[in-house]
Structures are given as structure tokens and as C-alpha cells.
Amino acid sequence: MRMALGYKDDPEFIPHVMRHTCVTRLAMNNTPELKMMLWLSHSTPAMVKRYAHLNINHLADAVTLLEGYLATAKC
């Protein structure tokens, strides 16, 4: 795997980290939690949450959704 990805001599490359990257990217693309669990053989939703590393920038879509709702809400 290291050679195929071009990290043959990189001591910083740890294959296990790719699982974290995979779940994070799936979560960023709104993949349902159950699909992520099955894809990575996680037994609980807690494991999916442990592996997904989202930051504040990933909340921007939630703000957009709320702004859209407020714009169409009848007060």
C-alpha cells in the first residue's frame, strides 16, 4: 500500500490513519451513518463518530440550510 500511494519511505505515513480519512470524507459528503458503519465494519455509531474528524468549516452547510429555512418561513 505504501508503495502504491508513493509513501514507501515516509515514516509519517500510517495506514490506519486512512480509515479516519475515509470516514471523514464520507461524513463530509453526508453519507448515512449506517453505510459508514458497514463500509468500515464498525459495530456502533460511536465508532463512526470517533473516526470522523470534522471541523468548524463543515458546519457551513448547516448554516446555509437554516438561512434557507428562515427565508421561507412564515412568521
pTM of the model: 0.65
* Tens of pLDDT, residues 25-70: 898 888 999 999 999 999 998 999 888 888 777 777 778 888 887 7
Cα–Cα distance for residue pair 14/2, rounded to 1 Å: 9
Whose CA is closest to 32, among 43, 41, 19, 45? 45
* Tens of pLDDT, residues 16-25: 888 888 898 8
Cell of 6: 508513493
Residue 23's CB is within 10 A of a number of other CB atoms, namely: 25
Angstrom CA distances, 65 to 1, 68, 72, stand at 39, 5, 11
